[in-house]
Chains A and B, each alone.
Chain A
């Protein structure tokens, strides 16, 4: 098999998953007596409006960052289930720090970003240290840390970081103080009444940095090598313990940035309205995007678009929750197809290697004669 054919085979994975997902969603729609074609048509019409595209990007950016955070871990066979907790506690503390200070604009924004990354990295680092020092599996520790982050976050927000309440009345919204103007990002553009958050620029830069770091540096090479074959990597001089901690810190640092788009562009404070489940959606996006920054970006845009386009369904009397099934089927079929393709490719390689060995042997025999 040529390299090109193998590449095409890999691309087949997400494509077939999406087709299958739409097929299953169609069945679900048919089962409740709706016309799937009409539903998809109105989704495409609504989803291709210019303001829908802006909304798609706004929804995609946090998903993309979450996907990158998960993908970095995946590249080293580390399962960072704790992205959700890292994101929430980082968003809370960076918003609190940002609101407590007033600095020149670029510095203020840089400070908020740095705090978010440090908090996210620190929270993920706990799981890394526990794995290296005490042998605690990162899946278990990050699940526990998610709940702990929720509890501590709620405690801090309710008791210390909440916006001071005016005398005699209580704000219904539980939020931190507003970040002053110097810590807000103006919208990039405004289309059809929807503002595109400027953080998308940071996200693109982040993607490039991650790509260069993982695919074009010595560190990235070590990381990927450890993921593919830890024994071989260790034999070639990679310290697996250090790699685990560094990768968790990196993954958590990226996870800390998930909330930044909404923080800078929309809420300007941490509130309980911050989207939940982004950490888990990030796992889905990373899987569909095959852990590559470009793939993750495509997957995030796809999920963002489906989210936006589905809004129209409610107006047509179709429960928009059908898209959750669509997304779920995409995730499950991607991983199944991925595994199947991996095995096909592996079998082909084994066959090719066997054929090459045979050829070599016959040549040797001929030479001996």
Chain B
């Protein structure tokens, strides 16, 4: 298949470079188009919260757990193990993170939360790799068990200590936060530096302010875990695509039999992938406890593990793709929280985007698709015109509907690891 650069083949460098350069250009073009569209809609509708620095900051905060779960899914699936258990591992991360923070302080809490998730990953690895049971069955079982373990442990550890069966006491300490000096108004050796990005964002200039707000949102009041997560995106790429171990891990996900015959220890690299996967889900859980809530609460993960899985598929099993998808999901979430007006403006955005899609299909000579796109666009226009707000419940489902649509429209263009989800027994042919 021609889609996707480096991951399709391991041994053909010329194609790889060409594919990647094209990809980057395409992505930049797409991002530019999105910016143009969003900015125009903002100016036309006057829904300034659509691209305020606060919205981007909130989007980032909401995207981090999804992104971490998505990267977790990526590590497991690149080695050929489907991880439906991300949600459960995230639950373990929240509980153990909270407990560790209460017992030993916030830094240990972070470590223990990650370890809790990693243990969940280890269970999944033992069941699905060593015993070779169905990976989906094992993942579902882990989700059920993790919820039970968290509940049981809460009863033991938190009742009588200011918490209860469903929540922990307040977690006192906070992790450090960071704002970029000179550009976003951070402190520089105790001196409050100016905030040019914030100023630009407040001017509401077409295109410029939107970009300024984006930069401001990504550079101010960053939590430690957020910064780590953002760094993890390029690091994951470098690790999986530019190191020997990464190559071996991916080869186990593409063709384990061939990999084994070349001397790769398939079981070992699969274990590594799945345990990293659990650890990242655990970190996502710890983030929810330390940065989002300041407390452990039952049901806190609220399906974010599954959302991470969706982001991974949406992002075509690539780190940058996962990051974009997680960002999009976080953005939808942030708008829902911040402003009804902005969500309403989103309808206009969708309608215009559909028109654009229709034009694209005209160019591609797919007239049936043109008709569908224009028809849906017209409906959304009418919806925008006759209503004032959009119900929260309908905003809640947008990431899921978007994922289904992407899968339905572009499943031929997505390329998952070839041996993803298949049980592998050492010595099989």
- Say yes or no: A130 contacts B156, CB within 8 Å: no
Q: How far is the CB of B309 from chain A (nearest CB, A)?
A: 7
**Across-interface contacts of B156 in A (CB, < 8 A):** 32, 319
Tell whether B152 is near chain A: CB-to-CB under 8 Å.
yes
In the assembled complex, the Cα of A324 lies from the Cα of B88 at a distance in Å of 14
Closest A residue to B394 using CB positions: A155
With a CB–CB cut-off of 8 A, which chain B residues contact A79?
Answer: 136
Q: Which of A144, A321, A336 contacts B151 (CB 8 A)?
A: A321
Q: In the assembly, what is the distance between CA of A145 and CA of B403, in Å?
A: 10
Q: Which residues of A contact B138 (CB under 8 A)?
A: 332, 335
- What is the distance, in angstroms, from B95's C-beta to the closest C-beta of chain A? 12
Smallest Cβ distance from A96 to chain B, in angstroms? 16
User: Out of A130, A324, A335, which one reaches B133, CB within 8 Å?
Assistant: A335
Contact A325:B152 (CB < 8 A) given known A130-B404, A145-B404? yes
In A196-237, which residues have CB < 8 Å from any B CB? none
Q: Is the beta-carbon distance between B148 and A324 smaller than 8 angstroms?
A: yes
B140 within 8 A of A: yes
Binary flags per residue of B107-136, CB closer than 8 Å to A gives 1, else 0: 000000000000000010001000111101
Contacts A139-B84, A319-B156 given: A329-B145 contact, CB under 8 Å? yes
CA distance A136 to B408 in the complex (A): 7
Are A135 and B149 in contact (CB-based, < 8 A)? no
Assuming the contacts A331-B144, A336-B133, asked whether A321 and B411 have C-beta atoms less than 8 A apart, the reply is: no
Whether B144 lies near A327 (C-beta < 8 A) is yes
The binding surface of chain B is classed by DSSP as helix
Contact of A280 among B82, B143, B391, B397 (CB under 8 A): B143
A339 contacts B133, C-beta separation under 8 Å: yes
Residue of A135, A280, A328 contacting most chain B CB atoms (<10 Å): A328
The reply to whether A325 and B148 contact each other, CB–CB distance below 8 Å, is: yes
B391-A335 in contact (CB<8A): no
CB distance from B370 to the nearest CB of A (A): 19
Size class of the contact patch on chain B: 35 or more
Closest to A147 in B: B400
Q: Find chain A residues with CB under 8 A from B64 CB.
A: none
Asked if residues A284 and B141 are in contact (CB atoms below 8 Å), the reply is yes
Does chain A have a CB within 8 A of B13? no
Interface size on A, residues (CB 8 A): 43
A143–B82 alpha-carbon span in the complex (Å): 14
Q: Is A30 in the interface zone, CB < 8 Å from B? A: no
Contact present for A284 and B144 (CB under 8 Å): yes
Is the CB–CB distance between B412 and A324 below 8 Å?
Answer: no
Q: Does B393 sit within 8 A of A, measured CB to CB?
A: yes
Q: Would B148 and A335 count as touching, CB distance under 8 A?
A: no
Within 8 A of B (CB), among A265-323: 280-281, 283-284, 287, 319, 321-322
- Of residues 361 through 414 on chain B, the ones whose CB sits less than 8 Å from some CB of chain A are 391, 393-394, 396-397, 400-401, 403-404, 407-409, 411-412
User: What is the distance, in angstroms, from B130's C-beta to the closest C-beta of chain A?
Assistant: 9
Q: Which of A39-86 contact B (CB under 8 A)?
A: 79, 81
Docked-complex contact A140 and B145, CB < 8 angstroms: no
Contacts of B69 in A (CB 8 A): none
Contact B140 A81 (CB under 8 A): yes
Nearest to A133 among chain B residues (CB) is B408
Q: Does B331 contact A (CB under 8 A)?
A: no
Q: What residues of A have a CB within 8 angstroms of the CB of B393 in the complex? A: 151-152, 154-155, 158
Known: A81-B140, A151-B394, A328-B145. A130 touches B408 (CB 8 A): yes
Q: In the complex the two chains form, what is the Cα distance from A152 to B140 in whole Å?
A: 24
Residue A340 at the chain B interface, CB threshold 8 Å: yes
Residues of A within 8 Å of B148, CB to CB, are: 321, 324-325, 327-328
A134: interface (CB < 8 Å) = yes
Query: How many inter-chain contacts with C-beta < 8 Å in the A-B complex?
Result: 130
What residues of chain B lie closer than 8 Å to A155, measured between beta carbons? 391, 393-394
CA distance A29 to B246 in the complex (A): 42
Q: How long is the Cα–Cα vector from A75 to B158 in the complex, in angstroms?
A: 43
Cα A28 to Cα B132 in complex, Å, equals 27
Q: A28-B152, A144-B403, A319-B155 are in contact. Are A283 and B140 (CB under 8 A)?
A: yes
Whether B62 sits at the interface, judged by CB under 8 Å, is no
Q: Do A136 and B411 have beta carbons less than 8 Å apart?
A: yes
Q: Does B56 contact A (CB under 8 A)?
A: no
Do B134 and A135 touch across chains, with their CB atoms under 8 A apart?
no
Minimal beta-carbon separation of A168 from chain B (angstroms): 24
The 8 Å CB contact of A144, one of B127, B134, B141, B404, is: B404
A165 interface residue per 8 A CB criterion: no
Task: Verify A143–B306 contact, CB threshold 8 A.
Answer: yes
B46 within 8 A of A: no
CA distance A171 to B256 in the complex (A): 59
B47 within 8 A of A: no
Q: How many angstroms between the C-alpha atoms of A232 and B317 in the bound complex? A: 32
B322 within 8 A of A: no
> Is B63 engaged at the interface, CB distance under 8 Å to the other chain?
no
Q: How far is the CA of A150 from the CA of B394 in the complex (A)?
A: 10
Are A147's CB and B397's CB within 8 A?
yes
Q: Give a binary string over B139-164; 1 marks a CB under 8 Å from any A CB, 0 the rest.
A: 01111110111011011100000000
- For the complex, is B303 an interface residue (Cβ under 8 Å from A)? yes
Find chain A residues with CB under 8 A from B303 CB: 147
Closest chain A CB from B369 CB (angstroms): 14
Contacts of B401 in A (CB 8 A): 144, 148
Given contacts A130-B407, A140-B313, A151-B393, contact A325 B412 (CB under 8 A): no
Report how far A144 CA is from B401 CA in the complex, Å.
7
A159 interface hit (Cβ, 8 Å)? yes
Q: Do residues A336 and B131 form an inter-chain contact, with CB atoms below 8 A?
A: yes
Tell me whether B44 is interfacial, beta carbon within 8 Å.
no
Q: Given known contacts A144-B401, A148-B400, what 11 new A-B pairs fall within 8 Å (CB)?
A: A32-B156, A135-B411, A139-B136, A143-B84, A144-B310, A145-B400, A147-B303, A147-B306, A155-B391, A159-B391, A332-B142
Provide a sorted-by-A list of 13 A–B residue pairs whose CB atoms are within 8 angstroms.
Answer: A81-B136, A135-B412, A139-B84, A141-B404, A144-B310, A148-B401, A148-B404, A319-B156, A324-B151, A327-B144, A328-B148, A328-B149, A335-B127
The 9 closest A-B pairs by CB, nearest first: A324-B148, A328-B145, A151-B397, A319-B155, A155-B393, A321-B152, A144-B400, A147-B400, A321-B151
